[in-house]
Amino acid sequence: MVNRRFTLKLGAAAGAGLLSRSVTGQIIPQSGLVFPSGYTPSWVGRPSPPVRPFVTPLFQMPIAQPVPLSALDPPPDPARHQRYNDFLPKKFYIQNLEEIKWAYHIDPPYNQGSWVYGFDGIQPGPTFITNYGEPLFVRRNNRLPPVGQGKVTWALPSFSIHTHNGHQASESDGFPSDFADPGQFWDHHYPSFPAGFDPTEVMGTLWYHDHRLDFTATNVYAGFSGFFLAFDERDSNNENDKNPKAFRLPSGKYDVPLILHDISFGPNAEVLWDFVGAHPSTSSEPGHGGYNGDAPFVESNGTPYTINGMIGDMFTVNRIIQPYLKVERRKYRLRLLNGGPSRNYSVAFTKDGSTPEKVFIISNEGNLLPHPIEMDDYFDLWPANRYDIIIDFSKYQDGDYIYLTNRMEERQDGAGETGRYTTGTSGGVNPTNLIMRFDVVGGTVQDPSHLPDHMIDRPLIDLSEVKRERLFVFDYTNGLFTINGRLMDPNRIDAAIEQGSAEIWTLRNDGDAWSHPIHTHFEEFQIIEINGKPVPPGSINWGRKDVVQLGPGDEVKFFGRWRDFFGKFVMHCHNVVHEDHAMMIRWDIVPPGQGY
């Protein structure tokens, strides 16, 4: 049987002037299958049912609760995990991945619920609260219905959960081809120590999401995402901490994780995915997405799909459409995460839907910065980007509204931004730009939390550790997304990196129309140059990163280390539609002397 992805690979090879060999070994001459981008996405051809903004409260995910070791049957197998006995788990968890009904809004038709994927009956999944020095073990059971028997017809009931960007061994990392099908489970061991045991390498805001080969985008869009927060004695999850080392950042109910997903819905609040449901244009003119020479690839059932990206016309935060949150007049820690799958945001906190209010960025990609950055402008939030924000609501009055506002206009095909901004209207606040609302309530309250002047120093860069330099070129080739001209093959090692070494990687976007948020697993890196210019000290990109923003023509050079474990990992575009088609490489950590 030749599947869709195999057919796409044949087309890419043909476009390069090659002959392809079928799975049976037969030589297949190719004429160059190319899949143009013209089509009308669902949210343009058939917008989602309208709702009232800011009438549904924000969903705040519960904290994941540990279970006794005896609840795991069969018990954990230490032989399956690197260094298991070095980092014996102190807490154990069980998650059940299921098909559920989820109400995205209180208005009809959304209040009847939409069939989606979830963890233990909710989406996003429960938030893990973890501490460095406290290893944990998570068993994830696949309770999804088998293929063809579920209500969610456009995702795959098979998962590989990745804790992004946890410092865990390969077998617990969520490698795309390490998946569990219905009725199976996968065990994850999280050792909970900073990379290289370096205290400057601790992380704070992580998240977990599906990484199933070829179906990452659909499965994350369906609901497989959640927060994974890590603390230590400095970022201690206690704003009343008496330890002089503690930062005393806002904690408890004043520490609010916020994950953004944009969703497209059908007339009955069914979640739509354009791989199997794009709205076909009736135009036969080139460029209008009809079934003509400029049309997208058409599946055997006659419905088109795009490989550029999936954009929804409904902003959701914690899987609620344009929610509101009542906030007291004091400091809050807001953890912003773009969960994708494809939309790029440029966001700010505003009173009028346009003019930014002052906030402080304390963390980029889950890594506390050396010093808070005062921000009174918009800042980019691409897929998988995270920012921890300190906002002080005490300067506002009871009854004031503060909006999380987006000004980025995205291309309809989901491939990246148009370059235009959409905020600022003569008629006042424009709800189409607003992601959520914060409702300031009450009078003056006590606030023991603190905004520290100094947090986590940037790790030192020692160029004498550098073993190799590598170049990775991201492009669009004959209808598919490539790295160094190749499609993802999970059985091919594209880079063998010697454990304990450092390398310098250059990432280059050779495309002139596509944006790529590039993520590499396992360890953070430090950007050295962006488009040939050094990163200014104290800027947002000065901290440790795990996502690089590659706009058209951009080039980024970074320094990274690879320590502590062996095995297979990946680097990929976190517009996960691009990842699935097939912008991803495999890299391995190997013993010293075996690198290439």
Could you tell me if 426 and 551 lie in one domain?
A: no
- Asked whether residue 291 is assigned to any structural domain, the reply reads no
Say whether the peptide bond before residue 74 is cis (omega within 30 degrees of 0).
Answer: yes
Token pair in block for residue 358? 């002052």
State the Cα–Cα distance between residues 427 and 451, nearest whole angstrom.
36
pLDDT tens digit string along 388-434? 999 999 999 999 999 999 999 888 878 888 888 886 544 455 677 99
- Asked whether residue 555 is assigned to any structural domain, the reply reads yes
Could you tell me if 72 and 207 lie in one domain?
A: yes
State the Cα–Cα distance between residues 365 and 385, nearest whole angstrom.
6
Beta strand residue intervals within 376-465, DSSP E: 379-381, 386-392, 401-406, 408-410, 417-421, 434-444
* Phi and psi torsions of 519, nearest 5°: -120, 135
- Asked whether residue 408 is assigned to any structural domain, the reply reads yes
Distances in Å between the Cα of 311 and the Cα atoms of 220, 304, 564 are 13, 15, 38
- Asked whether residue 318 is assigned to any structural domain, the reply reads yes
List beta partners, residue 473. Answer: 508
Could you tell me if 92 and 135 lie in one domain?
A: yes
Place of tokens 């808070």: 372
pLDDT tens digit string along 276-319? 444 443 333 222 222 222 333 444 444 456 688 999 999 999 99
Could you tell me if 158 and 217 lie in one domain?
A: yes
- Asked whether residue 8 is assigned to any structural domain, the reply reads yes
Question: Which residue segment(s) compose the domain that 181 sits in?
Answer: 64-232
Domain count along the chain: 4
Could you tell me if 76 and 220 lie in one domain?
A: yes
Which has the higher per-residue pLDDT, 13 or 524? 524
Distances in Å between the Cα of 230 and the Cα atoms of 130, 164, 200, 202, 577 are 5, 12, 14, 8, 29
State the Cα–Cα distance between residues 170 and 107, nearest whole angstrom.
44
Within 10 A of 44 (CB to CB), how many other CB atoms are there? 17
Residue 337: which CATH number?
2.60.40.420
User: What pLDDT does residue 41 have?
Assistant: 79
pLDDT tens digit string along 245-268? 999 999 999 999 999 999 999 999
Q: Are strands 516-520 and 567-573 parallel, antiparallel or unpaired?
A: antiparallel
Could you tell me if 223 and 74 lie in one domain?
A: yes
Could you tell me if 23 and 121 lie in one domain?
A: no
Could you tell me if 417 and 549 lie in one domain?
A: no
Could you tell me if 110 and 220 lie in one domain?
A: yes
Could you tell me if 398 and 434 lie in one domain?
A: yes
Say whether the peptide bond before residue 452 is cis (omega within 30 degrees of 0).
Answer: no
Residue from 581, 473, 584, 583 nearest 35 by CA: 581
* H helix or E strand, kind and range, residue 467: strand 466-477
Residue 299: CA atoms inside 13 Å, Cβ hemisphere, count? 16
Residues whose CB is less than 8 angstroms from the CB of residue 457 and which lie 6 or more positions away in sequence, other chains included: 200, 370
- Asked whether residue 183 is assigned to any structural domain, the reply reads yes
Choose one of 444, 475, 500: the last residue of a domain: 444
pTM score, two decimals? 0.89
Could you tell me if 407 and 500 lie in one domain?
A: no
- Asked whether residue 225 is assigned to any structural domain, the reply reads yes
Token pair in block for residue 297? 């690839």
Could you tell me if 490 and 437 lie in one domain?
A: no
pLDDT tens digit string along 58-90? 999 999 999 999 999 999 999 999 999 999 999
- Asked whether residue 211 is assigned to any structural domain, the reply reads yes
DSSP helix/strand/coil, 582: coil
